[in-house]
Structure 1
Amino acid sequence: MFLLFGLKTLLRDLPGRMAACQHCGQFVQQRVQERATKLSLFFIPVFTTSKVYDITCTNCGQSSTIKSRQKNALLS
């Protein structure tokens, strides 16, 4: 029996928003990215194992990880 499986990380850009940066303190556009790791079986994604959200300041370029609750507050 031959079983083919693996993990794949997908990046997806989410709509950004104006907010104050945690590092430089400027009120500028913030980019939000979703990084999802998926388990695939025979090259077909079966389910998502983890999701991480990153926010990046367009002024200073610093990036930090945020929780899904913070992401929902930022995007709503």
Structure 2
Amino acid sequence: MIIFGTRGYLHQLAILTMVCGWCGNPAAHTLRKRVTKFTLFFIPLFPFSTKYATQCTFCGGERQIPKEEAEQLSAQARGGQDGRPYGAPQQQPGYTPPGGGNPYRS
């Protein structure tokens, strides 16, 4: 007897603040990747379906998105190439904040 089937895996890629298309509120949205894998004797072997979606944390509305848009949103959430989020303040090289950078020193 051979036991086979499928199993789904859900990965949260990022949390973004966007205006919801369902409720119209600016709210946090989770960017999710759902992978369905073929299993043999309860061992996942290979993925055969991958889908991406965003879900509003305010109303629960979910929207399927293509892979390219998911990659773009994920890169936007991670920030630029230097790892800083978009809009983060940039400091000049050699700059030391008041107090020497130690928040416990005045």
Structure 1: unaligned runs, 5 residues or longer: none
Report the TM-score when normalising by structure 1: 0.81
Q: Which residue matches 1:38?
A: 37
Report the TM-score when normalising by structure 2: 0.61
| Deviation for aligned residue 1:37 | 0.7
Structure 2: unaligned runs, 5 residues or longer: 76-106
CA RMSD of aligned residues (A): 1.5
Distance in 2, matches of 1:44 and 1:3, equals 12
2:8 corresponds to 1:9: yes
- CA displacement, residues 15-56 of structure 1 (integer Å, 9 cap, x when unaligned): 111223223343332111211110011211110010111211
| Deviation for aligned residue 1:74 | 0.6
Structure with higher Rg: it is: 2
Q: Between the two proteins, what is the percent identity of the paired residues?
A: 32
Q: Letter of the aligned partner of 2:11 in structure 1?
A: R
Distance in 2, matches of 1:37 and 1:29, equals 26
